[in-house]
Amino acid sequence: MTRLLTLLFLLLAGPALAQAPDPYAQLAGDGYAEIEAGVAGLAASGDPRAGVILSALSDGRLLVRPSDKALLIRQGAGVVDARTGAAAPDDPALKPVRANNRVRRGIEAAQGQLNLVSPDPAKRREAADAVFKARDAAALPALDTALAREKDAGVKQVMSEARAAVLLAKPGTAESEKLASLPAIQARGDGDAMGILRGLGADPSEAVRAAAGRGIAAIETRLAILGALQNVWYGISLGSVLLLAAIGLAITFGVMGIINMAHGEMVMLGAYTTYLVQEAIRTKAPALFPWSLAISIPCAFLVAGLVGVLIERFIIRFLYGRPLETLLATFGVSLVLQQAVRSLFGPTNREVGAPAFMSGAFDFYGLSITWGRMWIILFSLAVFLGLLFVLRKTSFGLKTRAVTQNRRMAAAMGIRTPYVDALTFGLGSGIAGIAGVALSQIDNVSPNLGQGYIIDSFLVVVFGGVGNLWGTLVAALTLGVVNKLAEPYIGAVLAKIGLLIFIILFIQKRPRGLFALKGRAVES
Amino acid sequence: MKTWKTWSSAAALAAGLALGTLSTGAARAEETIKVGILHSLSGTMAISETTLKDVMLMLIAEQNAKGGVLGKKLEPVVVDPASNWPLFAEKARELISKDKVSAVFGCWTSVSRKSVLPVFKELDNILFYPVQYEGEESERNVFYTGAAPNQQAIPAVDYLMSEDGGGAKRWVLEGTDYVYPRTTNKILEAYLKSKGVAAEDIMINYTPFGFSDWQTEVSKIKAFGSAGKKTAVVSTINGDANVPFYKELGNQGIKATDIPVVAFSVGEEELAGIDAKPLVGHLAAWNYFESIKTPENEEFIKKWQAFKKNPKATTNDPMEASYIGFNMWVKAVEKAGTTDPDKVIAALPGIEQKNLTGGTAQMLPNHHITKPVFIGEIEANGQFDVVWKTDKLIPGEAWSKQLDGSKDLEADWVKLNCGNYNTKTKKCGGA
């Protein structure tokens, strides 16, 4: 009788014992390994609440009640039971389920499996990418169903790549199936594909190894070409930053001939103006945040321009024709401005947020291009053309050129030269301020911001030829591209040293830079 | 000739008078104990060092409220070496010779510490150095309350190699080009190789100070990471260069789940300058995190925020190291019953002070201290979530066991009275 009962009990309990451990209990467990297993189990269980629970876990809203290890989700002000979705009493003892990189990787893979059948094609593509990265064999059935149902060609391609990646990573895949999967990976042709193919180097099958080797060779050539193009792009991007930093100096130093050591601080003031504008927008009108940079541009121009005019009126005016004294005085001004900002805002960095259109990257025929850098390149060109227009086509520009070419003649023609001097210096400083708006997106907004750019700015202006705006453009782009082409081969430190040596030699040969101005005004 | 004599005697008289006033001045100074604070308040290092000056002022004020030390009030003497290394030595000399301080708390960069070393040796005073550093040093006059490489770098690499840390097999050692990253990377490279990592799976890269265009470097890391093996980055990038580095990582879409970056110089303070959301999951290894919940830490944070009158002021690891160093000095002075540097130096080894994060730090005979090691992941609010910690305190090693030149060296100022005793040749004086 007892034996019969035991048998009955075993028969009843058998299926329950053979079942996988409860993912809810695992999620409420301690170690990251257990939580990760819970995530995978939940995704595989087909539980309809899985998606909600996983997104709560990745946001840190999944809580565990220490008394009975029940899982709860924080929703708005209240708490709901994770298993049922019913409202539950809030409790200060609730502890969030903790996630580290290991758990987060698990969540990404699990969400990939769940989202494969999402109605939104962008979500499906993301999900397929996640499966591609995770290469988890458990996702294979879901992937097959999704592939059969998929209509969108782009998403379908990513899915078949993901399927190929999973098959190649799964132990025990047949040789023929592996060989059939390889072309999809090779066609993808990026670094990730390369990683998968490299991973096949130890495959038992000769044919798979050979095919993978051919794939690697094909991708390598492609990546080498792309890499070179990418470096040129990085160079243009660095050049555009140099151009932005130097273009204001091309006015104050290039056109007016003032050695302005405080130029970097004008850039810094522009960056801090951006910070202040953003802070004001954050507290007063958060809806305007995407426009904060556009609003900062005129503000930064005015602030830096005004400080520039003040410096010209109160210091530089008395030192015209005495370059050494100007250098020392403006160096002093730069120290004063730095310490003033440090006292006002503190020595630590200030956070300037990036609007959505400035963050992230996009793929352009295999080149990865970051949005922020692209906008900065366009912006620097716009500033350059704008400045060119002001100097060439406006009456103010005409007066500026007249004063710098022949001051006494200009004065005789009725131009108020001191007035033009002040405004020109203000213009150069204001442009530096505008550069600060852009640089706040890629560099630290700290009192030392300007220090990093002053040497480079002088290099660009001198290299391009003092007094020549086009020279500044060409010089900035040349230095940027040369630097970035050299960097992958000799490292960032040597590339910088090499560049400096190159410029020293160049200036020995052509003291007036790339595009030297000619004429009597220059000779005198 | 006569005039010369008159003049010289007049000068002697004046000198005597001056000495007289000096000694009365010294007699009046007896009433307080002077403590030197040698941190840059301007220049590039001001970003990090200004906070440490403030912490010291807070600790001294607190100690004075408790009645000072040996019945005397403490008097802080703050000088500004302006991130200028030779000026550090000048200011140290000024603090010791002119202001007659009993101990100095200061320096951040290794180069500033190296530049003041001869001054402290010559004038026989005490320096408390509160920053994590590259090791390979133990001086009689210096007490190192920050981490040595075995208390930060090696545990961090161990974690990344573990199952929980992602099981990294390929390593990028990315650093700023100066002594701390170069030495740390040399130690790490030797350590990784001893753990069976092949030479082609290690990439070492250096960039200049204040580097801001990280596009090429980050895409190099990305390419290195796509070789089919789990890759991790160990960053010894210092100071300002970190912000653009992390921004570029975020922009190029390198997530911590793909290639985690563990940093040794990025703390709460540095993260205050960036939007931390794209960085969630990247790691830092320290001996202190603001987010660690202990009663001591909560009280310290409360006091700090009240002192700064800023409810958002953050605390960080070197601040805790300053706190430990200061309290150890106070205890040693009380134990020795005097502020005489020689006696305090002799009293310091063995002194214990509770950490802010649990456990008790002890000053070791090699002038380093025992520390717990924490690995934290960056959270969206710019704080760290501790994901791993050592189960016991780790004693600081002055000389790395990984490097050829230093593995036979031992520092022991109690028994051997030597900072670089060679256990092979049985001689004091290095390799």
The arithmetic mean of pLDDT across residues A310-335, rounded, is 92
So what's the pLDDT on residue B30?
A: 52
**B373-410: buried (b, 16+ CB within 10 Å) or exposed (e) per residue?**
bbbbbbbeebbbbbbbbbeebbebbbbbbbbeebbbbb
Nearest-CB residue to A370 (from B42, B206, B252): B252
Could you give the percent of chain A with pLDDT greater than 70?
Answer: 95
Q: Indicate the DSSP class of residue B240.
A: G
pLDDT in tens, B314-369: 999 999 999 999 999 999 999 999 999 999 999 999 999 999 998 999 999 999 99
Give tens-digit pLDDT for A198-249: 878 777 788 888 888 888 888 888 888 988 999 999 999 999 999 999 999 9
Closest CA to B368 of B411, B421, B424: B411
Do B181 and B130 lie in one domain? The reply is no
B98 within a domain of the structure (yes/no): yes
Considering the domain boundaries, does residue B420 fall inside one?
A: no
Mean pLDDT of A478-499: 91
What residue spans define the domains of chain A?
Answer: 2-102, 116-204, 226-523
pLDDT-above-70 percentage for chain B: 92
How far is the C-alpha of B276 from the C-alpha of B285, rounded, in Å?
A: 17
Q: Can you tell me whether residue B408 is helix, strand or coil? A: coil
Provide the token pair at A54.
Answer: 């996983």
One domain for residues B206 and B124 = no
Same domain, B111 and B230: no
Task: Return the residue in B40, B201, B216 with the most chain A beta carbons within 10 A, the one to mutate for interface testing.
Answer: B216
Round to whole Å and give the CA distance between B63 and B41.
Answer: 23
DSSP string over A133-198 = HH--GGGHHHHHHHHHH---HHHHHHHHHHHHHHHHHSTT--HHHHHHHHHHHHHH-SHHHHHHHH
Q: Which residue of A has its CA nearest to B49?
A: A347
Q: Domain containing B241 — which CATH number?
A: 3.40.50.2300
Q: Does position A4 have pLDDT exceeding 70, yes or no?
A: no
Q: B251, A359: Cβ pair inside 8 Å?
A: yes
Please tell me the distance from the alpha carbon of residue B109 to that of residue B146, in angstroms, as a whole number. Answer: 12
CB distance A238–B385 less than 8 Å?
A: no
Same domain, B264 and B286: yes
In this structure, the answer to whether residues B225 and B359 fall within a common structural domain is: no
For residue B328, is it within any domain?
yes
Phi, psi for A30 (deg, rounded to 5)? -95, -65
Across A97-101, A337-341, B245-249, which has the greatest mean pLDDT? A337-341
Give the count of domains, chain B.
2
**In CATH, what number does A226-523 get?**
1.10.3470
**Least CB–CB distance from A452: residue in B163, B212, B256:** B212
- Residue A15 confidence (pLDDT) above 60: no
Q: Is residue A151 pLDDT above 80, yes or no?
A: yes
Residue % of chain B over a pLDDT of 90? 63
Q: How far apart are CA B179 and CA B114, in angstroms?
A: 11
Which domain, by its residues, includes B243? 150-290+374-395
DSSP string, A320-363: TT-HHHHHHHHHHHHHHHHHHHHHHH-SS-B--PPPGGGSSEEE
Task: Determine the angle formed by the axes of helices A395-405 and A371-393, rounding to 10 degrees.
Answer: 70
Pair (B255, B143) in one structural domain? no
pLDDT in tens, A119-135: 888 888 888 888 888 88
The residues in B 6-35 lying below 8 A from A, measured between CB atoms, are none
Q: Which of A268, A348, A371 to mutate to test the interface with B (most CBs of B within 10 A)?
A: A348
In a domain, B337, yes or no: yes
Beta strands at B374-378 and B283-286: parallel, antiparallel or unpaired: antiparallel
Average pLDDT, chain A: 86
Here the tokens at position A150 are 């998929």
Touching check for B207 and chain A: CB below 8 Å?
yes
Distance from the Cα of residue A488 to its chain's centroid: 19
Phi, psi torsion values for A18, nearest 5 degrees: -75, -20
Question: What per-residue string of b and e applies to B343-357 under the rule 16 or more CB within 10 Å gives b?
Answer: ebbebbbebebebbb
pLDDT in tens, B138-186: 999 999 999 999 999 999 999 999 988 888 999 999 999 888 899 999 9
Position B279 in a domain: yes
Which of B251, B241, B242, B197 lies closest to B219, judged by CA? B251
Residue B339 lies in a domain: yes
Domain assignment present for residue B140? The answer is yes
Per-residue pLDDT tens digits for A31-61: 888 888 888 888 888 788 888 888 888 888 8
- Decide: B56 and B322 in contact? Cβ < 8 Å: yes
Are both B283 and B359 inside the same structural domain?
Answer: no
Predicted structure pTM score: 0.82
Label residue A518 by pLDDT band (50, 70, 90).
low
> For residue B201, is it within any domain?
yes
Query: Is the pLDDT at B9 greater than 60, yes or no?
Result: no
Mean pLDDT lowest for which of A467-481, A487-501, B19-33? B19-33
Residue A76 φ/ψ region, left for φ over 0, alpha for ψ in the -120 to 50 degree band, beta for the rest: left
Contact residues, chain B, for A271 at CB < 8 Å? none
Would you list the DSSP string of B51-80? HHHHHHHHHHHHHHHTT-BTTBEEEEEEE-
Which of chain B's residues have a Cβ under 8 Å away from the Cβ of A456? none
Q: Is B167 on the interface with A (CB under 8 A)?
A: no
Phi and psi angles of residue B392, each rounded to the nearest 5 degrees, phi first = -140, 175
pLDDT of B119: 96
For testing contact with chain A, the best of B257, B312, B378, B388 (most A CBs within 10 A) = B257
Q: Does B47 touch chain A (CB under 8 A)?
A: yes
Q: What is the mean pLDDT of residues A76-87?
A: 84
- CA of A360 to nearest chain B CA: how many angstroms apart? 5
pLDDT tens digits, residue range B107-143? 998 889 999 999 999 999 999 999 999 999 999 999 9
Q: What is the mean pLDDT of chain B?
A: 88
Specify whether B310 is located in the same domain as B350.
Answer: yes
What does A408-461 look like in DSSP terms, one character per residue?
Answer: HHHHHTT--HHHHHHHHHHHHHHHHHHHHHHHTTTS-BSTTTTHHHHHHHHHHH
Residue B222 CA to residue B227 CA, distance in Å, equals: 10
Separation in Å, CA A350 to CA A268, A342, B54, B251, B301: 12, 11, 19, 19, 21
